[in-house]
Structure 1
């Protein structure tokens, strides 16, 4: 029984074949050499992008203290976020529930998944419009979103910073948002590296449930699953349809393989934080992310 159109299945096969080739090449060369090869290629093939990310140097060590990174997980529905009203907060993707965070103006908003800005009027533009109207100044975008950002005039609405990604993370290597970053499974990982670069000494994760694989499997099986069940944010009907189209484009085995690596990459990022004397905590209520030390936000009420 076919679940998707022939075209989508064809796209899925291309993704599978490409990812399989990457894994074979990495196994042949070793992660360190494979990553170095990719970074060299990206710098040569994307000179304009490399030039643009150099702009990010103005953000080096401009901050201190702590920040809070909000994912989009379902735990956000019940967690008290108003306590963040006077804190530095990073948001991402469709998040625009600013009243939930006590009316705080996020320090920055992040989107690294190029699929979110595809099409003539992608639903994520509604979230970005609310970010703009609430006074969010900094917008971090994956470098492959450059044309989309120009198409939708985002560079005129925000101070846009691009993040170039494309190679596996290598232990012991220095990373900065002014150069090629590792390619991660989620935008949250990139936010953590950006926070370190900007000078934060303590980073707290919220809404990082890491249960999206269950939502994907349910949607794949039923085709009629409510996508909003897997998110802790308000999603329009159009946004839900867009997310379901995005999910259907990658074969389920590739989606689950990515989630299997998700926890390893969190551990890698945690080790990077430790090496840079940065404290990383998971303040998500519930969820399955255990590779990052747990914390509660009770200390905020005492400040």
Structure 2
């Protein structure tokens, strides 16, 4: 049923004006969510405001991470994404939750599964994981993360109906990994969110291997950052524009919620938020 609904939605996209497609698409997606995904998101209610009035550190994987002494985060609430489990201080940082992007082309499925298995054996035992709802079938099939708390979020490619955050229901699909974490942190009630490794300077690497804090040979995912995986320049620019627009979207919501978001990334094009340094934040506590 769910696949049939998705198929109808894709056909509608070809023939309907954008405004009508967005409205119709939201209705079809909500129907699919109610029919198949609602139950797996019920446990997300346990995360509502559980760390209210605290501060969180969002850890991404761009090169500026190498400029920081992350052992300073030893007593902080940290949340990591993607290949951050490769960081040498992962067991000092002890992320509360680690986030994974879903399987998608041009990634290789078997290779993606091996990557998830490796992360499971590397992450601290106390670290929970969050994945897209589309990944549940893979997790179940290959018996992944059997000893961890696992949460799923339903991510929608349609513009949200309301400027509110409720991860028990579909939320905005992120254009990049860190944006997958932001709505969860807001839902959990954090009033201060600090971004590290959120450089978003990927256009510097266009048509080359994408740079991160780790070397390319450390990334198990075939085609993940390969120079041959780039789209054409128009599509890439459109994608990057969407990254910054999504940050602006969450900035609007965070202001409404009274949550401050600060960018601590030392080499970053993300100027939607105030800049500070990690040292200043840690020692001024």
TM-score normalized with structure 1 length: 0.79
CA deviation profile, 1:206-244 (whole Å, cap 9, x unmatched): 1000012332x232xxxxx4x4xx101355455264314
Structure 2 partner of 1:141: 131
- In 2, distance between residues paired with 1:238 and 1:137? 21
Structure 2 partner of 1:7: none
- Relative to structure 2, which stretch is displaced further, 97-106 or 135-144? 97-106
Structure 1 partner of 2:214: 233
Structure 2 partner of 1:94: 83
Change (3 A) 1:240 1:252: farther
Structure 2 partner of 1:57: 45
- In 2, distance between residues paired with 1:119 and 1:256? 27
**TM superposition shift of 1:254:** 2.1
Change (3 A) 1:102 1:130: closer
Any gaps of 5 or more consecutive residues in structure 1?
A: 1-17, 220-224
Is contact 2:261-2:274 (8 Å) kept?
Answer: yes
2:194 to 201, 204, 208: 204
Matched pairs, number: 270
- Relative to structure 2, which stretch is displaced further, 79-88 or 100-109? 100-109
Across the aligned residues of Structure 1 and Structure 2, the Cα RMSD in angstroms comes to 2.8
Please state if 1:40 is matched with 2:22.
Answer: no
Please state if 1:291 is matched with 2:272.
Answer: yes
- In 2, distance between residues paired with 1:171 and 1:48? 20
Any gaps of 5 or more consecutive residues in structure 2?
A: 1-8
SS in 1 for 2:79: strand
Is contact 2:198-2:270 (8 Å) kept?
Answer: yes
- In 1, distance between residues paired with 2:63 and 2:173? 24
Is contact 2:111-2:221 (8 Å) kept?
Answer: no
Please state if 1:119 is matched with 2:100.
Answer: no
TM-score normalized with structure 2 length: 0.83
- Relative to structure 2, which stretch is displaced further, 278-287 or 166-175? 166-175
**TM superposition shift of 1:86:** 0.6
Change (3 A) 1:71 1:26: farther
Is contact 2:45-2:168 (8 Å) kept?
Answer: yes
**TM superposition shift of 1:98:** 5.0
CA deviation profile, 1:179-231 (whole Å, cap 9, x unmatched): 0001220121221110011111110111000012332x232xxxxx4x4xx10
Looking at secondary structure, tell me which structure has more helix per residue.
1
Structure 2 partner of 1:279: 260
CA deviation profile, 1:73-115 (whole Å, cap 9, x unmatched): 1101122211111100000111114543671210100013323
- Relative to structure 2, which stretch is displaced further, 53-62 or 154-163? 154-163
Structure 1 partner of 2:283: 301
Change (3 A) 1:172 1:44: closer
**TM superposition shift of 1:256:** 2.4
